[in-house]
Amino acid sequence: MNKGFYAIFEDDQKKLVMIRILTLFTLFFVLFSCKNNPTLDDFEEKNIDKEQKDTVKSTNFGIVIHGGAGTILKKNMSDSLEKAYQEVLEKAIRKGHEILAEGGSSLRAVTETINIMEDSPLFNAGKGAVFTHDETNELDASLMDGSNLNAGAVAGVTRIKNPINLALEVMLNSEHVMLYGKGAEEFAVTRNMELVDPSYFYSESRLRSLKKVIKKEQDELSSVHSASFEDPYSKDSKFGTVGCVALDQYGNLAAGTSTGGMTNKRFNRIGDAPIIGAGTYANNATCAISATGWGEFFIRSVVAHDISALMEYKGLTLSEAAEEVIQRKVPALGGDGGVVGIDREGNVTMEFNTAGMYRAHMNSEGTLNIGIYKK
**Strands, DSSP E only, in the chain?**
62-70, 139-145, 150-157, 178-180, 242-247, 253-259, 280-282, 287-293, 337-343, 348-352, 356-363, 368-373
C-alpha dist (Å) from residue 190 to 47, 66, 322: 25, 31, 39
Residue type (1 letter), 250: Y
**Known catalytic membership, residue 241:** yes
- Please check whether residue 318 is in contact with residue 287, taking contact to mean a CB–CB distance below 8 angstroms: yes
- Active-site option among 241, 286, 349, 354: 241
Residue type (1 letter), 267: F
C-alpha dist (Å) from residue 312 to 64, 114, 122, 235: 21, 27, 36, 33
C-alpha dist (Å) from residue 258 to 62, 83, 115, 160, 247: 20, 22, 9, 12, 19
The phi and psi torsions of 93 (rounded to 5 degrees) equal -70, -30
User: In Å, how far from its chain's centre is CA 38?
Assistant: 20
Which residues, in sequence order, are bridge partners of residue 293?
Answer: 337
User: In Å, how far from its chain's centre is CA 220?
Assistant: 33
- Residues taking part in catalysis: 241
